[in-house]
Amino acid sequence: MIKPDLTLTVPDELGAVHFVGIGGSGMSGIARLFMDAGHAVTGSDVRESSNVLALRERGATIAIGHDAANLGEPDAVVVTGALWQDNPEYVLARERGIPVLHRAQALAWLVRDQRLVSVAGAHGKTTSTGMIITGLLGLGRDPSFVNGGVIESLGVSSASGTENLFVVEADESDGSFLLYKTSVALITNVDPDHLDHYGSLDAFQDAFVEFAQNASEFVVISSDDPGAVAVTRRLTDKRVITFGEDATADVRVHGVITDGPVSFSVSFEGVDYSATLKIPGRHNAINAAGAFAVLAGLGMPPADSLEAISTFGGTERRFELHGTVGGVSVYDDYAHHPTEVAAALSAARTVVGEGRIIAVHQPHLYSRTKLFAREFAETLEKYADQTIVLGVYGAREDPEPGVTGALVSDRFVDPSHVAYVPDWQEAADYLGSIARDGDFVVTLGCGDVYRIVPQLLESLAKARG
């Protein structure tokens, strides 16, 4: 993986910009905003995708495959931390002295004069960002935004609005969320993650303290998450709005009903407001409360805000239904941390009825798999009826001897509830042999596990017909 220099001074003017890995939800969203601002955009990605096609239709020149010849003559190159050091476009840009910017640096430059709402947290930030955006639009506001996933009702992950208000999902994984000149900070939780970057829990929490302390207007933060509570205690001279189920929360969630789409009430300034979301899961009631707290803090009418938030229909790769074969439904979810897996499968449990939950888990990163193997096993065994564990998706990391998906499967108490099947076709065929009417299949991971879904659907069809 590359380590972009986050201290690099971004040029005052950026003309043509080249995006390496332009097809990702985050990168494509930023590229779209640069095009909206009048910049010439080129890019490359490893494969065709709907994001690539949409950008081409808007006038971007995009090559498939990474090659030095793709670079052209840009004024800046935008990359992600998932890029490898030997990427030929990255190497040539460095050799030619072209500024190489982390995607957060590019976005921070683009929104430098905006009133910025930044959403951070180990989990829930894509959904929470989508809820804030949906709420603002429902209230008749016109913000700009960039989210980590496509918002279902809008069909895009980013857009340029007419107001001086910008909502951004801020990534804490590599510390780049500290680049933003944030006005309003929402912290969904500070659950330990990305310790491969930070080195320690203390350093991880320190970064969130800095992020919150830098917010110029106010901070919205969980009252339930222990890490968030620890961060809150360290804030000084800040307007803080807490949210959650804790009795002390400024926006207190109560009366949660998780039978199907989640219903709940929030108490705020002595008044109760109720809502039913379009999406399942207790965790989404909490996410909605955080979004509500942001809108209330911005001075929006509380009842109207919660009503607008409740129209949020989800984002791509968050408990997303891809098809049903013979009574077996196949969903995909981005969950890649034990807490996220528990939330996703708990949500599935509320709507599966008498069926079973079959998890197809792709471990993400060798370091995370090694660190959390036991927690993943405990979570999957508790919340899923059957689990299929795939091979590790290394992303930015080199393979580590002895670190495979078997680290997770071997830690199940009851081995009859799990199978380690690293070959995707074998995994799909195994699923076809065990699935039955009413089951929910949920692929889990932030790598490329979503690409196995067509194989799963095909194997289910063959086994059942």
CA atoms of 454 and 423, how far apart (whole Å):
15
CA atoms of 78 and 72, how far apart (whole Å):
14
The per-residue pLDDT for 317 is 75
Q: Is the separation of the CB atoms in 136 and 165 below 8 Å?
A: yes
CA atoms of 344 and 339, how far apart (whole Å):
9
The CATH topology of domain 111-309 is UDP-N-acetylmuramoyl-L-alanine:D-glutamate ligase (3.40.1190)
CA atoms of 410 and 404, how far apart (whole Å):
10
- Any idea what DSSP says for residue 114? S
- Please report, in tens digits, the pLDDT of each residue of the chain (465 residues total): 566 667 778 888 889 999 999 988 788 999 999 999 999 999 999 888 888 999 999 999 999 999 999 999 999 999 987 778 889 999 999 999 999 998 889 999 999 889 999 999 988 889 999 999 999 999 999 999 999 888 888 888 889 999 999 999 998 877 788 999 999 999 999 977 655 666 677 888 999 999 999 999 999 999 999 999 999 999 999 999 999 999 999 999 999 998 778 999 999 999 999 999 988 888 899 999 999 999 999 999 999 999 999 999 888 777 788 888 988 999 898 888 888 898 889 888 877 888 999 999 999 889 889 988 999 999 999 999 999 999 998 876 788 999 999 999 999 999 999 999 999 999 999 999 999 998 999 999 988 899 999 999 999 999 876
| Enzyme catalytic residues | 125-126, 169
The per-residue pLDDT for 260 is 74
CA atoms of 384 and 336, how far apart (whole Å):
15
Please tell me the pTM assigned to this model.
0.80
Q: Is 339 exposed, middle or buried, given 0-12, 13-18 or 19+ CB atoms closer than 10 A?
A: buried
| Yes or no: domain 320-463 corresponds to CATH 3.90.190.20 | yes
The CATH topology of domain 17-102 is Rossmann fold (3.40.50)
CA atoms of 343 and 299, how far apart (whole Å):
31
Q: Is the separation of the CB atoms in 293 and 251 below 8 Å?
A: yes
Domain boundaries, the chain: 17-102, 111-309, 320-463
The per-residue pLDDT for 199 is 66
Helix (H, G, I), strand (E, B) or coil at 394: coil
The per-residue pLDDT for 397 is 78
Q: Where are the beta strands (DSSP E) in 188-250?
A: 218-222, 240-244
